[in-house]
Chains A and B, each alone.
Chain A
Amino acid sequence: MRIQLTSIFVDDQRDALAFYTDVLGFTKRHDVPIGDDAWLTVVSPESLDGPELLLEPSSHPAVKPFRDALVEDGIPFCQFAVDDVAAEYDRLGRAGVAFTVPPTDIGPAVMAVFDDTCGNLVQIISTKPAPSDE
């Protein structure tokens, strides 16, 4: 069994595609019209055959109260791995992305949380190299 696809609710699929590709740097993988919406996925350019992220419409009535409650408490809905959280914080900050948590050392990793402008908080994390035995 493998994790091939996971999903995140977005307020507007086209705005979300722009943010997840132009700002974050992901690559569009599928964009198949389904009624008024689309089966819309992105992948990491570092892993084009890797897990896809489905940008799913947030129109179901249960989504808004669920997400509002998470965002109020600052809880991120998904997490992406990066090489250097501080560098991403600078890069995304220059692109106008708002962070709710700046780069923070949490022991084995450094994390930060930003607003994806589509209704979600997203955590980025970089794990520290394992201490050498030497």
Chain B
Amino acid sequence: MLAYYEGMADVFRALDDETRRLILDELFSRDGQTLFEICAVLSSRHGLGSSRQAISQHLGVLESAGLVVTERRGRSKFHYFSSDPLAAITRRWPVVGKDDTS
């Protein structure tokens, strides 16, 4: 149980950074990207000047929180968005529409 709550804290910490949220946005729009591609789109679409090393560390935080999973294809490593940790949040606090309560 403790691990469960710590895991959820990791998710919120991981999301508490605009660069990491942009990384998730880009993976959501096209899943399965290499570090190189993520850096290229962050730079060209969002004007981010972060170093490749910094982006790599952001990806490590997202991966630790379970929001990003990696898979090797050929000799390269690809990053994928995983919504599983977000499902744990909505299970704990289900989204209830106004219509359902009226």
Contact A106 B35 (CB under 8 A): no
**A73→B35 contact, CB < 8 A:** yes
- Total chain B interface residues with beta-carbon distance under 8 A: 17
Is A75 located at the chain interface by the 8 A CB criterion?
A: yes
Alpha-carbon distance between A107 and B74 when the two chains are bound, in angstroms: 29
Q: In the complex, what residues of A have CB within 8 A of residue B21's CB? A: none
Interfacial residues of chain A within 91-108, with CB under 8 A of chain B in the complex:
98, 100-101, 104-107
Q: Which residues of A contact B (CB under 8 A)?
A: 68, 71-76, 98, 100-101, 104-107, 111, 113, 115, 121
Chain A binding surface, main DSSP class: mixed
In the complex, are the beta carbons of B74 and A115 less than 8 A apart? yes
By a CB distance below 8 angstroms, the chain B residues around A113 are: 34, 36-37
Inside 8 A of B33's CB, which chain A residues have their CB?
74, 101
**Cα distance, A75 to B36, chains bound together (Å):** 5
- Residues of A with C-beta under 8 A to B51: none
